[in-house]
Chain A
Amino acid sequence: MKSYILKLPAVEIINRIKGQEISAEEYMIKLFERIEREERKIHAFITLTKDSALSQARIIDRKIKKNEKLGRLCGIGIAVKDNICTDGVRTTCGSRILENFIPPYDATVIERIKSEDGIVIGKTNMDEFAMGSTTEYSYFGPTFNPWDRERVPGGSSGGSAAAIASHEAGLALGADTGGSIRCPSSFCSTVGLKGTYGLVSRYGLISYGNSLEQIGPITKDVKDCALLFSCISGHDSKDSTSLPYPAKDYTKALVDDVKGLKIGVVKEFFGEGTDEVVVKYVWNSIKKLESLGASYDELSLKFLEYALPTYYIIAMSEASSNLARYDGLRYGLRVPNKSYDWNTIFSKNRKLGFGLEVKRRIILGTYALSAGYFQAYYLKAQKIRTLIRREFDQIFKNHDVLICPTMPILPFKLGEKIKDPLEMYMCDIDTVPANLTGMPAISIPCGFYHNLPIGLQIIAQIYREDLLFRVAYTFEQN
């Protein structure tokens, strides 16, 4: 009895807990029963925090009994990507080098979740340091796609998306540097939002590509997404790149109406390498929105073909510097050795602590920043980034949103692309532009092909999350 509750949207679960139809503790016990069952098949989590989650739930039950003011996330179980710092709970980034790293502080988003009575249930699996699109690059082993366990859940926030898809969590947090929220959302049929750069504090997010990434929600539906995003966004003085805007209530943007909205369909987003099935489903979705009163036109972005290399140069350059701190001296893996030479000690720790893909990106990033190559790579990439941004700005002068596939292909099998890094990087072709430009982008499910989910991506101008929610909500409701 009552176990159907786990499959409800988070908003419904929260209402039932607030309405005392189920106690927070009861819900949490059921949730962990399910997690323990599902985890054997899915492996969405690296670390579970059952004890603290249950004690939190009991605290919330007491608050409910005493008629105290309740937070918007009252009692809901939230899965947190393992690159978001949690005070006293190990945060591994999917890496051996941080296998036993326990942060002494909470990320701002975690503080905000807690202040809204949300409950962290565990830390989810991810590609090491968020470098990957399949979650196969985790030191702790891969996560399996709940829709087809032979296939990848996408990445790098694969654990968070899989946890939502398998109902192991009410809400989840991911982080998106080049598509890491939207890619697994597409592959797992969840809703995933990367907001405008600077709307969600990065304080406590372990950096991969600082100028590109944002923490964001991965949820069962658009309403849940709007709720979680409302709770975690808004200015934070601890993050200098945080925008000076207060938090908004995005649930007000959930309007079932797209009449008069102008959709842009950029042909480069449907280019070579895009699966015909994906093209068909996305076009059907556009037609559906048209039938609901929106209009669309097709256009072209001439700099878009440079987005992928531009993205990778910037991300890897930043990563090469961000990951320098993992030397084993202050925290993280420390290989026993007899050397007194710090150079040797650093090398040994890093050699054993980092996986192959991480090493590849550190080396490539180091190269791109080196004297003699800096101009040709990093600086040029920054210039192209500006050009891409300008082109999008032009389009948004007379379009409300852009619609395109989230992923150019259907979820593929584990091991299928891991041998060819370039093929793997190509998966990010439609997601990286939003990171390069800082624009918000959401991925929502738009159907299944032979039980494999397909995601639809909606992109809007900076700070226009309201349009994303409106279009996504309308699409979902009809």
Chain B
Amino acid sequence: MIKEDLVKIGLEVHCQLTKLKSKLFCSCSADYRGKEPNTNICPVCFGIPGALPVLNEKALKYALMVALALNAKVSERTLFYRKNYFYPDMPKNFQISQYDKAGGIPLAVGGRLIINGNKIINIRRIHLEEDTGKLSYEGTIESSNVTYIDYNRAGIALMEIVTEPDMNSPKEARLFLQKLSSILEHLGVCDPSLEGAVRCDANISFGGGKRVEIKNISSFKEVERALRFEITRQRSLVSKGIDVKSETRHWDDVRRVTFSLRLKEEEGDYRYFPEPDLVPIEISNEMIQQVLSEMPELPEARKKRFINQYDLSSQTAEVLTSRKILADLFEESVRFYPNPREISNWLASDLLAYLSDTNKEIESLNITPKHFAELAHLIDNGLINRNIAKSIFIEMVTTGKMPSEIVEERGLKKISDQHYISEIVDKVFKENEKAVKDALVNEKAVNYLMGCVMKNSSGRIDPNIVLQIIKQRLNQIKEGD
């Protein structure tokens, strides 16, 4: 029987540097999404004969930021290599990448990321390379009579981050990716919420068994699913006494299964050699210092600051800093209305629960820091109670309406009109004579009367005032006796 802790997972993460203006080696736009196919191309990225690549210096700077944020050792000298293989999505039939063998030196080696508070995931290497074009089919690969190729993505700057096989469960793989994504977001180099911006391949093996590679994992939700499927598949093979083969498998995110692409022995020989059209890059200490001095606050530091500055729990601070957009939302809301505890609860629990239930992304919601500031303000002022606040919250995130607007529309404001409440109290007292008698001798029976009054007003009246009036009436009865 295979135990979960015998699982070893390593990830090869590809992150597009989506915040760049242009591609890695030409001036075509880095924003290729949603464009007419094959319009975001030029002689360089389309591989027209004679055109030559020129490195986007900003891409190098971004990659250095990521390397330094992951505590990796930046190479003093690094160079690009050609990875040669024929495939229709590559305009030149080679990919400009980096390599750690055959004399190659990647941008950075080593490094680490801590997940779950104390689990160290070591980074093997970090390098820059160009993305490929995209193939699409009519229907499925098998049934389609045509293959469409869109080269708009070809040449987009991609950073490859390769980990050691230090993760021991699919959940850890997901946590790693989440944490990495938050770092990329905080550095302002990548927007992980964009489709295909963060993709990964996963290597998985059981207790020293054969290594299986899974390709085509397009998000960190998928990584956990794909790895769980693979563990189940391999476990069932082993239980039947069948050997797990060393192979490359493809994750089908529609059918949610992996299928075999090729055995490891059939892997191509990529004939790596130094890219003769580019020159080696020297990375000076000054350059590193410069990047360090411009480095924005990272999630780990921000989490600590949240704990100190806003008196949040470690767990809440962790959740908030897991997405830059969430942490930003929090800090800006607090700037409008300084109740960090109230606001952090709405964001860290209610908002995330809503996103997970509805399968939405924060970016797609029409909400601003003012929404949360106002919500907290209404609660603090006793204008709405918590139950009402929850329903307002749902409407607010669904429609983007301001909480005050919703309150107005629904007439939800708590009723604090003494006269109106007195009338209801009088009515309840008449209808519940026995309970009133009990209440005169027993403090606890007061609660029952409270409940009746609240029920009569659909919970919209201020309970503090209700209690005050009930006590007044009871006192009047006692005094009248």
Known: A374-B102, A379-B102. A93 touches B48 (CB 8 A): no
Rounded to whole Å, the gap between the CB of B239 and the closest CB of chain A is 37
B120 proximal to A (CB < 8 A): no
Residues of chain B lying within 8 A (CB to CB) of residue A239: 52, 54, 277
Contact (Cβ within 8 A) B54 A238: yes
Known: A210-B276, A370-B269. A103 touches B49 (CB 8 A): yes
Contact (Cβ within 8 A) A206 B52: no
A101 proximal to B (CB < 8 A): yes
Rounded to whole Å, the gap between the CB of A107 and the closest CB of chain B is 6
Residues of chain A lying within 8 A (CB to CB) of residue B48: 85, 103-105, 331
B165 proximal to A (CB < 8 A): no
Contact (Cβ within 8 A) B55 A240: yes
Rounded to whole angstroms, the CA-CA distance of A206 and B43 in the bound complex is 12
Known: A241-B279, A340-B145. A374 touches B51 (CB 8 A): no
Residues of chain A lying within 8 A (CB to CB) of residue B147: 340, 342
Rounded to whole Å, the gap between the CB of A100 and the closest CB of chain B is 13
Contact (Cβ within 8 A) B277 A240: yes
Contact (Cβ within 8 A) A321 B273: yes
B50 proximal to A (CB < 8 A): yes
B43 touches which one: A104, A205, A211, A366 (CB < 8 A)?
A104
Rounded to whole angstroms, the CA-CA distance of A93 and B55 in the bound complex is 27
Contact (Cβ within 8 A) B47 A330: yes
Residues of chain A lying within 8 A (CB to CB) of residue B271: 320-321, 366, 369-371, 374
A85 touches which one: B50, B55, B93, B269 (CB < 8 A)?
B50
Rounded to whole angstroms, the CA-CA distance of A202 and B51 in the bound complex is 9
Rounded to whole angstroms, the CA-CA distance of A374 and B99 in the bound complex is 14
Residues of chain A lying within 8 A (CB to CB) of residue B88: 327, 329, 342
Contact (Cβ within 8 A) A240 B86: no
B229 proximal to A (CB < 8 A): no
Contact (Cβ within 8 A) B269 A371: yes
Q: In residues 369-386 of chain A, which contact B (Cβ within 8 Å)? A: 369-371, 374, 378-379
B277 touches which one: A98, A204, A241 (CB < 8 A)?
A241
Residues of chain B lying within 8 A (CB to CB) of residue A101: 49
Residue of B nearest to A346 (CB): B86
Rounded to whole angstroms, the CA-CA distance of A329 and B269 in the bound complex is 23
Rounded to whole angstroms, the CA-CA distance of A320 and B53 in the bound complex is 18
Rounded to whole Å, the gap between the CB of A315 and the closest CB of chain B is 11
Rounded to whole angstroms, the CA-CA distance of A327 and B92 in the bound complex is 9
Residue of A nearest to B44 (CB): A238
Contact (Cβ within 8 A) B278 A240: yes
B103 proximal to A (CB < 8 A): yes
* Count of inter-chain pairs, beta carbons less than 8 A: 106
Known: A370-B269, A371-B269. A325 touches B278 (CB 8 A): no
Contact (Cβ within 8 A) A238 B52: yes
Q: In residues 31-75 of chain B, which contact A (Cβ within 8 Å)? A: 43, 46-55
A1 proximal to B (CB < 8 A): no
Contact with A along B68-96 (1 / 0, CB 8 A): 00000000000000101011100111100
Q: In residues 328-387 of chain A, which contact B (Cβ within 8 Å)? A: 329-331, 340, 342-343, 346, 366, 369-371, 374, 378-379
Contact (Cβ within 8 A) A93 B276: no
Rounded to whole angstroms, the CA-CA distance of A346 and B149 in the bound complex is 15
Rounded to whole Å, the gap between the CB of A98 and the closest CB of chain B is 7
A369 touches which one: B46, B53, B273, B276 (CB < 8 A)?
B273
Contact (Cβ within 8 A) A105 B51: yes
Contact (Cβ within 8 A) A325 B84: no
Contact (Cβ within 8 A) A378 B93: no
Contact (Cβ within 8 A) B84 A330: no
Residues of chain A lying within 8 A (CB to CB) of residue B53: 240
A98 touches which one: B49, B91, B94 (CB < 8 A)?
B49
A203 proximal to B (CB < 8 A): yes
Tally of chain A residues near chain B (CB < 8 A): 46
Rounded to whole angstroms, the CA-CA distance of A324 and B46 in the bound complex is 13
Residues of chain A lying within 8 A (CB to CB) of residue B86: 324, 327, 342-343, 346
Residue of B nearest to A98 (CB): B49
Contact (Cβ within 8 A) B279 A203: no
Contact (Cβ within 8 A) A325 B92: yes
Rounded to whole angstroms, the CA-CA distance of A371 and B99 in the bound complex is 14
Contact (Cβ within 8 A) B93 A203: no
Q: In residues 38-52 of chain A, which contact B (Cβ within 8 Å)? A: none
Rounded to whole Å, the gap between the CB of B91 and the closest CB of chain A is 6
Contact (Cβ within 8 A) A204 B51: yes
B52 touches which one: A84, A240, A378 (CB < 8 A)?
A240
B50 touches which one: A207, A321, A324 (CB < 8 A)?
A207
A318 proximal to B (CB < 8 A): yes
Contact (Cβ within 8 A) A321 B46: no
Contact (Cβ within 8 A) B49 A211: no
Q: In residues 275-313 of chain B, which contact A (Cβ within 8 Å)? A: 276-279
Residues of chain B lying within 8 A (CB to CB) of residue A104: 43, 48
Rounded to whole Å, the gap between the CB of A101 and the closest CB of chain B is 7
Known: A321-B94, A321-B271. A379 touches B276 (CB 8 A): no
Residues of chain A lying within 8 A (CB to CB) of residue B278: 240-241
Rounded to whole angstroms, the CA-CA distance of A208 and B85 in the bound complex is 18
A91 proximal to B (CB < 8 A): yes
Residues of chain A lying within 8 A (CB to CB) of residue B52: 202-203, 238-240
Rounded to whole Å, the gap between the CB of B419 and the closest CB of chain A is 81
Rounded to whole Å, the gap between the CB of B129 and the closest CB of chain A is 15
Rounded to whole angstroms, the CA-CA distance of A202 and B53 in the bound complex is 11
Rounded to whole Å, the gap between the CB of B98 and the closest CB of chain A is 15
Rounded to whole angstroms, the CA-CA distance of A478 and B274 in the bound complex is 46
Contact (Cβ within 8 A) A93 B273: no
Contact (Cβ within 8 A) B276 A378: no
Rounded to whole Å, the gap between the CB of A161 and the closest CB of chain B is 21
Rounded to whole Å, the gap between the CB of B230 and the closest CB of chain A is 28
Contact (Cβ within 8 A) B46 A330: yes
Residues of chain B lying within 8 A (CB to CB) of residue A324: 84, 86, 92-94
A124 proximal to B (CB < 8 A): no
A325 touches which one: B47, B54, B55, B103 (CB < 8 A)?
B47
Residues of chain B lying within 8 A (CB to CB) of residue A205: 50
Show 10 A/B contacts (Cβ-Cβ < 8 Å), sorted by A. A103-B48, A203-B52, A209-B276, A239-B52, A240-B52, A317-B273, A321-B84, A329-B149, A330-B46, A366-B271
Give the A-binding residues of B (Cβ under 8 A): 43, 46-55, 82, 84, 86-88, 91-94, 102-103, 145, 147, 149, 269, 271-273, 276-279
Give the B-binding residues of A (Cβ under 8 A): 83-85, 91, 93, 98, 101, 103-105, 107, 202-207, 209-211, 237-241, 317-318, 320-321, 324-325, 327, 329-331, 340, 342-343, 346, 366, 369-371, 374, 378-379
The 4 lowest CB-CB distance pairs between A and B, nearest first, are A324-B93, A210-B276, A369-B271, A211-B276
